[in-house]
Amino acid sequence: MGMAKKEKPHSAEYFGESRDFWWNADFMALMARRWGLSEARSVLDAGCGVGHWGRVLAPFLSPDAVVTGVDREPEWVRKADETAKAKGLTRFSYRQGDVNALPFGDAEFDLATCQTLLIHVPDPRATLRELARVLKPGGLLILSEPNNLAGSLARDSENFDGDIDALVDTVRLQALCERGKTALGLGNNSVGELLPGYLHELGLTNLRVYLSDKATLVLPGALDPGAAAGLAQTEDWLARDFWIWEKAETESYYRAGGGIPAEFERLWANAMAHRRRSFQAAKEQRLSAVEAGFQYLISGRKPS
């Protein structure tokens, strides 16, 4: 018998170099002032992965703030810890844990936060209740979560005047997959739209919603570091026939979302062809594009 294929830890495809270019530093400085980040002394980074989000916030925290990251994957916990040590973030520590059963008592943190965590959980309301539980009265909850479906409508210079039916098919494939992912208990990739309402249900106050101002400019013969990292990621994905998810995973979501099985191969080929055209144009230095997304920053305070 052959050995079973080792499962990758969650989000492995999205923890590469391109993630380091998700935020503009001046925008985050503005958000830090709006939130009053410098007042937090105890910070929880839930579903921390390899620690990207905590490191984005680090320059705006008080020098004596203590940051604790929690993730279910031992590999990510190890990598986050190694990176924090290498960067001299001595007040950062990481531990394995379940975000739906956090290993902390009630009211331990001034700030609880997460980035692209809630798109992976089966019941975002339950996760939010747990995050609120460990917040001190008056504590701040910050969520960085997207509407990923919106990005399926993006068109670059290679596809701007392309077939409308092909564009609609790509949107339809992604929408059905997101619905199926939810039906399978694996979260919804566009849950950011619903989170302000969930925080309102929880009774949090001073609710605020902002939108990241990050956009990556791609011009013929001119790739900034973020665009270059994204192009390298796309090249790797195309070599492995990877879209947003692996093909088998995509098909399972599509079917669970009510997609017609006989149409899957055509929809998959269409989505991959769209990506290959854009990638080839970029490699040949003739692509013009604005790469951006709907990444929400949603915050509220636990009542005192």
- Return d(Cα 238, Cα 165) in angstroms, integer: 23
Note every long-range contact of 231-237, with CB atoms under 8 Å and residues 24 or more positions apart, other chains counting. 231/279, 231/282, 231/283, 232/17, 232/18, 233/16, 233/17, 233/18, 234/275, 234/278, 234/279, 234/282, 235/279, 237/13, 237/275
Mean of the pLDDT values across residues 218-240? Answer: 91
pLDDT, tens digit, for every residue of 129-151? 999 999 999 999 999 999 999 99
Tokens of 16: 């590469």
Distances (CA, A) of 155 to 220, 275, 278: 16, 11, 9
**Is 40:63 a contact under the CB 8 Å cutoff?**
no
- Asked if 151 contacts 216 with a C-beta cutoff of 8 angstroms, the reply is no
Tell me the C-alpha distance between 32 and 51, whole Å.
Answer: 18
Q: Are 54 and 45 in contact (CB under 8 A)?
A: yes
Please work out, in degrees rounded to the nearest 5, the angle formed at the alpha carbon of residue 148 by the alpha carbons of 146 and 151: 125
**235 pLDDT more than 60:** yes
- What is the reported pLDDT for 1? 38
183 Cβ partners below 8 Å, 6+ apart?
256, 257
| pLDDT confidence band for 224 (50 / 70 / 90) | confident
H or E segment at 264?
helix 264-283
Q: Which residues pair with 280 in a beta bridge?
A: none
Q: Which of 74, 94, 73 is nearest to 84 (CA)?
A: 94
List the chain domain ranges: 20-301
Task: Check residue 43 and give its pLDDT.
Answer: 98
Does residue 6 have a pLDDT over 80?
no
- Packed helices 247-256 and 264-283: angle between N→C axes, nearest 10 degrees: 140
CA distances from 61 to 273, 274, 295, 300 (A): 44, 42, 22, 18
Domain 20-301, classified CATH 3.40.50.150, yes or no: yes
The predicted pLDDT at position 222 comes to 80
Tens digit of each residue's pLDDT (9 = 90 or more) over 102-117: 999 999 999 999 999 9
Q: Give the Cβ contact number of residue 34 at 10 Å.
A: 12
Pairing of strands 294-301, 289-292: unpaired
**Is the predicted pLDDT of residue 5 greater than 70, yes or no?**
no
| Segment holding 179, helix H or strand E | helix 164-183
| Dist CA 104 CA 219 (whole Å) | 48
- Hey, CA dihedral for 132, 136, 139, 144, is it positive or negative? negative
Decide if 43 contacts 53 (C-beta within 8 A).
no
Is the predicted pLDDT of residue 4 greater than 80, yes or no?
Answer: no
